[in-house]
Amino acid sequence: MNKFFVSTPIYYVNDKPHLGHAYTTLCADVLARWHSQNGNQVFFLTGTDEHGVKVQESAIKAGLEPLEFANQNARRFQKAWINLGIGYSYFIRTTNPQHEAVVSNFLQKVYDKGYIYQGQYEGLYCVGCEKFLQEDDLVNGKCPLHPNQEPIQQKETNYFFKLSDFGDKLLNALTKGEYQVIPDGRKNEVVGKIKKGLQDVSISRAGVSWGVPVPWDRTQTIYVWVDALINYYSATQFVEAGKGFWPANLHLMAKDILWFHAVIWPALLMAAELDLPRTVAAHGFFTIDGQKMSKSLGNVIDPNDLVKQFGAEATRYLIMVEVPFISDGDVSLSRFQQRYQSDLANGLGNCLSRVTNMMEKYFDDKYNKDLAYQFELVTENAIADSIKNLRFSESLDYIMSEIKKIDKEIDAHKPWQMVKEAKLLDVKLLLIDWVRRLTRIGQLLQPFMPQTSEKILAVLTAEKIVKTEALFPRLDI
């Protein structure tokens, strides 16, 4: 049995879950389910990032203590994931004292090895990103991701991590495949930046009280990003289900935070003499109807609203099929609706109704329930490979094309006419073939739409197959 540990970023607890968070979390969920289905032992970790200036300020605005505020908002993420049928193994919160203890020990170890020193930090800080900005990060003097926020001028005594010691080591590890960054385009960006030379990074804050204290100097707190990255490791230390799972197989995220995961995190792990994650994978950013998704534009899509409109299973399908992993993409509600109609209502759901309806009508004797079926090897492999390589929409396209093939065959054979021509036996043979193929489709859809898959398999393996209710009622658009 192989182990598979997949993680999502831990999301800032001051925000509400939106489609961006939902996408990464769904990718992880599909992979987790696919690996369990294929006999692997899976640990799927997600959670919330709860320390730092941003959360502290949001709590003050909400008139709450930071922890109370975090408690409320962490619950929103948990609820959203339940609504979407996300089956994480553990939901980590960085305010968990057990996590804090691991963070503290981790950093102490790096300090003891001589990779941390005290220095003077002077420069700009973006609260939105919780990140120190370099000159070349700035666009018109502002952080490009937060153009409405003024970067803050910081001048304080901090502790620094000797990231500059790790450039060659990281390049070496990447070349030797000790860890990999995907996709290639983004790996090349990372490698290019490492080659330009790495600068040491500040890993503590003097003026921020909402954080884990620096173990050897309690007047400072640990920089929120360091605290957050360590969650991946800490969950394998204090969470029962996570024990034995370090190193992670796959850290998933969007490109905005790749640098932290592909450079700073592996360097910290090297400094602490721990194994590196096997793969760090970054997907693109998507826009809504061609525009950046943002509160000020009022176009933020709440996954809970999609679930209300389409149901959880269809929402999972729509997000996975419409958002490409590798590139930036654009989503729109009207495309979601069209897809729902074509792929689910008129596609999968209708095909299942047609076949089960004919089974009910023409197949009154018991049928041999040996439904084991595999598509041609090329198809089976293409579906598995595209999931493994994070090309989720591609694997769904393959599955949907198998449904279309069945529909076409039904249209071509017209079983209802064959019955009139007294070719009942031929009809039964065709029906059994379609039932077996739909059973396989049900299995292949399991990671994407677990409940739909269960329903399909229950209907098709019943003693007597009867016409199903529409799995996906048509939308009135």
Which positions touch ligand MSP (CB under 6 A)? 9-12, 15, 20-21, 23-24, 49, 228-229, 231, 253-254, 256-257, 285-286, 293
Q: How far is the CB of 409 from ligand MSP (least distance, A)?
A: 39
Q: Which residues pair with 181 in a beta bridge?
A: 280
Nearest-CB residue for ligand MSP: 20
| Residue placing its CB nearer to ligand MSP in the complex, 257 or 326 | 257
CB of 18 to ligand MSP, least distance (A): 7
**In the bound complex, what is the minimum distance in angstroms from residue 264's beta carbon to ligand MSP?**
10
Between 12 and 121, CB nearer to ligand MSP:
12
Using the minimum distance from each CB to ligand MSP, give the nearer residue, 129 or 344.
Answer: 129
Distances (CA, A) of 423 to 349, 408, 416, 430, 465: 27, 19, 10, 11, 20
Instruction: Considering the candidates 126, 187, 251, 261, report the single residue annotated as catalytic.
Output: 126
Q: What is the DSSP string of 189-220?
A: HHHHHHHT-PPPEE-EESS--SSPEETTEEEE
How many CA atoms are closer than 13 Å to the CA of 279, on its beta-carbon side?
A: 17
> Is 27 among the residues known to form the active site?
no
Q: Which residues pair with 3 in a beta bridge?
A: 41
Spot the catalytic one: 27, 51, 54, 143. 143
- 3-state secondary structure at position 255: helix
Residue carrying structure tokens 């409320």: 72
Query: Is 146 tagged catalytic?
Result: yes
The dihedral built from the CA positions of residue 253, 182, 241 and 34, taken in this order, carries a sign that is: positive
351 catalytic? Reply is no
Q: Do residues 244 and 175 make contact, with C-beta atoms less than 8 angstroms apart?
A: no
Q: Is 292 a catalytic residue?
A: yes
- From the candidates 79, 113, 292, 414, which is the catalytic residue? 292
Closest distance between ligand MSP and the C-beta of residue 47, in Å? 9
Q: Which is nearer to ligand MSP, 59 or 229 (CB)?
A: 229
Shortest Å, Cβ 320 to ligand MSP? 13
Catalytic residue among 113, 295, 308, 464: 295
Out of 27, 35, 99, 129, which one is annotated catalytic?
Answer: 129
Q: Is 126 a catalytic residue?
A: yes
Strand locations in 245-402 (E): 250-254, 279-283, 286-288, 329-331
What the block records as the tokens of 268 is: 């910290």
Q: Is 251 a catalytic residue?
A: no
Nearest of 17, 23, 2 to residue 254 by alpha carbon: 23
Whose tokens are 């990447």? That residue is: 174
Q: Would you name the residues annotated as active-site residues?
A: 18, 21, 126, 129, 143, 146, 292, 295
